[in-house]
Structure 1
Amino acid sequence: MTGKVFSREEMAAAFEQFEATVDRAAQTRDWDPWVAQYTPDVEYVEHAAGTMRGREEVRAWIWKTMESFPGNHMTSFPSLWTVFDEPTGRVICELDNPMRDPGDGTVISATNISIITYAGDGLWRRQEDIYNPLRFVKAAVKWCRKAEELGTLTDEARNWMRQYGGAE
């Protein structure tokens, strides 16, 4: 709990800015503005990667994750639905993680639930991402198989597939 209650309007405006910044980061592949939206002492809980504390831990993780396969093939992170819980300062949403077109217009994605706690002044003090990692692996494998079929599979994705997807 934040100790302070924020209005739905303030939280909604801050979340709209958060989404716009995340979208810009996905388009430019510059993850620093995304990280700058968190408080310096942010706690980021990512169930597969663990808990990160502070912007610098989050920054190192986000750059590594989003600049290697399959993260570097994710094109955006739009919210499919959002709930604002003013008493706790939390935004709860389902985020989509679509991957780039493998070459025939196919859309392959996986979703996660995120709980983001607002700190005020446009900053977020905590984020927890909840998802089944196997769904993300399944989506990435599906993308790799489709890209291989279409002749667009990158060497990085092929190597990932060998390591995690059961390919030869």
Structure 2
Amino acid sequence: MTGTTFSRAELVEAFAGFEATVGRAAATRDWDPWVDQYTEDVTYVEHAAGTMRGREQVRPWIWRTMENFPGSYMTSFPSLWTVVDEARGVVICELDNPMRDPGDGTIISATNISIVTYAGDGKWRRQEDVYNPLRFVAATVKWCRKADELGTLPDEAAQWMATYGGGAR
């Protein structure tokens, strides 16, 4: 329990703000407003990267993750569904992570479950991302192979494939 109970309406409104901020960050590639929606002492659990404590541990991680391939090719992070737990001040959602069109209209993505805990005043005090990293690798490999087939594979993606995906097709 958080010790503070937030109404469903407040949680829904705060999560709408969260999604809008994430949407703007994806569109502008400015990740600072995304980080700033967390409390100074946020705990961010990212199963592949580990647990970060405080905004200033989260900030360099999100910039590095989202400004390098494959994160730099993810275009948005819409929630596919949400569950609001008023008693705990938590919103649980499944986020989609679609990648750019490789050149023929194909949409390739992977999803994760995010659990965000509200602190009040539009801020979030905890986030945990749960996913299978191999699904993200498989989606990225699929995207790279499609882009290679279409002749649109950028150098950074070819380098990623050589390192993590078994090389380009």
What is the TM-score of this pair, normalised by structure 2? 0.98
Which amino acid in 2 is paired with 1:63? Answer: W
- Superposed, 1:22-61 pairs within 5 Å as 22-61=22-61
Which amino acid in 2 is paired with 1:123? Answer: K
Matched with 1:13 is 13
Task: Give me the identity figure in percent.
Answer: 78
* Unpaired runs of at least 5, structure 1: none
Matched with 1:155 is 155
Distance across 1 between alignment mates of 2:74 and 2:90: 25
Deviation at 1:167, TM superposition (A): 1.1
Further displaced range: 1-10 or 37-46: 1-10
Deviation at 1:51, TM superposition (A): 0.3
Are 2:133 and 1:133 equivalent residues in the alignment? Answer: yes
Deviation at 1:2, TM superposition (A): 1.7
Deviations 1:7-45 (A, max 9, x none): 000000000010001000000000000000000000000
Deviations 1:71-119 (A, max 9, x none): 0000000000000000110000000000000000000000000000000
Distance across 2 between alignment mates of 1:164 and 1:47: 18
Distance across 2 between alignment mates of 1:124 and 1:45: 13
* Unpaired runs of at least 5, structure 2: none
- Deviation beyond 2 Å, 4+ runs, structure 1: none
The DSSP-based 3-state class of the residue aligned with 1:68 is coil
Matched with 1:88 is 88
